[in-house]
Amino acid sequence: MFHCNPLLIKLKKQLNGKKLRVKGVVKSTKKGFGFLEVNSNKNYLIPQCFMNKVMHGDKITAVVRIENSREIVEPETLLEPFLMRFVGQVQIKNDFISLIPECSLINKTIPAYSHNVKASFHCGDWVVAEMRHHPLKGDQQFYAEITEWISTKNDCLAPWWIILARHGLERTAPEMPEELIQPDDFHRKDLTALDFITIDSDRTEDIDDAIYISDAPNGAWTLTVAIADPTAWIPEASKLDLIACKRAFTNYLPGFKISMLPQKLSDDLCSFHPYKRRLALVCRIIIHKDGILSEDIQFFTAWIQSKAKLAYNHVSDWLEDIGEWQPENDVIIRQIRLLHAIFKSRSAWRSHNALIFKDQINYRFIFDEPGKVRDIVIEPRRIANRMIEEVMIAANICAARVLRDKCGYGVYNIHKGFDPKLIDKAILILRNNNIDAKAEELLTMNGFCALRRQLNTLPTTYIDSRIRRFQSFVKISTEPGPHFGLGVDVYITWTSPIRKYGDMLNHRFLKKLIKTNVTERLDEKIILILDERRRKNRIAERDIKNWLYATFLQHQAGNNNLFISKIIDVRRRGMRVQLLDNGAMAFVPISFIHNIENEIICNQETGIIYVKGKERFRQADTIKITITDVCIKTHTIIARPI
């Protein structure tokens, strides 16, 4: 039947005249053959005999042929290799080293050599390698060079080291310079007599903020926020400054952190430990009883001394009248009460005029020993967390306004709400759910905030989850701009300078304004560094969590234990769910929802799954699932709805 196909006859005529070449991406299969994906609607078979020339993910050109009345392609030119720098596991046979790439999409074993890495390799070791030879470059076979040794097979921290190496991230905090740099020559106010307090997790050592509150006329409060001042120890463009710039953030991972700064600075010299005299950059602002921030904002440098290190859970328990913890004295009680009053005033103002954060669930991994997860517990944002968050947001708004008005630039966080190119799709979803909306209103901050406040009153997060994909991302900018997600006209962060390099830069801008009222514009390249490093850190944290979740839950596969889960996303072949007890993500295949494929529709546009024309599941629903399979290699969890 195929030899009479007019399309094939036409193609044969074309091929007889000249070679037909196509460009695409290689997709491998477990059966040995592959496909060249040219676009979403067209792909060509790559026979098994040609797959030894290419790697899954390679971007190539290929020559189209007709064999047995079927179109196939033979790889010809490498345009862009998929595998360049990669993590692999060592295999040794007859004294020859080969690597199994730590990538579930690649099932090749790659011969390797090592010239510059001084290590004795053993089977199962993890290493970093770079591809040096490729068959489409004229080489006989794939060949890689080992460039870095990572860990042994049985290292309990191997998941951390492997993923950090995969993303090119550091494993330890930077070293402290041999000669300790003396603090800068700022004239600082002595505020050590004031009753500053800190509230953090009871495990926190890098304590970077302290507060002191006093009464002001007409029911207002004077809020003094002191922030640790690492720029006093780190000169601009110094070796340590360049290291901090490269790292950009302290990397918080399950089980431990990797500091942006030497721990001697972050956990000691800059940290507001009780009764230690410390350098600070200070913001002083009057907050009126209706929650409005005064326009009279003061920034100055100072010496402070914290009078108490308090813990979120203890303060929350005390305010909620549970537990046994009590503040040590009346001074601490007064500071907590004043902070609570400011919190209620500010959050009430923001709930009507801007936006407030909905409470989110945080999950913490608890380890019996390094690398072994004993449990995963829920850590809700309690009242004390929200109180500190509220005053830090106020301090950040104040700094943003000062930098905008006095120099016109800084390291700003910008969020402009809905993407104008996608606004019509968001409006369609809203109208289909009986919410009237107009593009010209939603593209303004007031309109965006009004919609967010309305969505927060709904019984489910379905509509909210559907329209979030049409919003723009928060970005870092040197130019001031609005932050729709907070409902404020301008926003920066400066309250975590020992954890964020962008906050350190904003410290320098503020201190230059204090000292000389003159600042220098920031190099735009730094913004790119901050964006890229934040992305890498987030991906690394996600990858490590997925690895730990798979290891922690593998014994649950097939035992029929029930887990309450929330549908996060609906996809063409199933849905993603989050287990609410521990935060793990799982995938529910379409075959587990209904076993007759033509009777089920997974509508990605609406986020609804239909079975026999009737709605079965929708995004944001809470359902019960069991875990059917856990793949340790890919760190994926497969679940079945009950």
**58 classed as catalytic:** no
Please name each of the domains of the chain with its CATH number.
2-80 (2.40.50.140), 85-154 (2.40.50.640), 189-408 (no CATH), 423-472 (no CATH), 557-641 (2.40.50.140)
CA proximity to 241, closest of 52, 34, 436, 505: 505
pLDDT single digits (tens) 199-234:
999 999 999 999 999 999 999 999 999 999 999 999
**489 classed as catalytic:** no
**499 classed as catalytic:** yes
Instruction: Supply the pLDDT for residue 275.
Output: 97
Which residues of the chain are under the pLDDT cut of 50? 1-2
Which among 499, 508, 533, 618 is annotated as catalytic? 499
Kindly report the pTM of this predicted structure.
0.92
* DSSP secondary structure code for residue 419 in this structure: -
Instruction: Supply the pLDDT for residue 7.
Output: 58
Which among 312, 462, 501, 549 is annotated as catalytic? 312
Residues 583, 376: contact at Cβ < 8 Å? yes
Which among 44, 125, 166, 206 is annotated as catalytic? 206
CA proximity to 58, closest of 34, 83, 33: 83
Residues 10, 61: contact at Cβ < 8 Å? no
**621 classed as catalytic:** no
Q: What is the mean pLDDT of the chain?
A: 94
**290 classed as catalytic:** no
Using CA atoms, how far residue 568 sits from 330, 619, 629, in Å, is 47, 6, 19
> What distance lies between CA 3 and its chain's CA centroid?
54
**229 classed as catalytic:** no
Instruction: Supply the pLDDT for residue 356.
Output: 82
Q: Which residues contact 126 (CB under 8 A, 6 or more apart)?
A: 87, 88, 89, 90, 102, 149, 150, 151, 152, 153, 158, 161, 162, 165
Helix (H, G, I), strand (E, B) or coil at 387: helix
Residues 446, 474: contact at Cβ < 8 Å? no
Compute the distance between CA of residue 389 and CA of residue 312 in angstroms, rounded to an integer.
Answer: 11
How many H-runs (helices) and E-runs (strands) does the chain carry?
14, 30
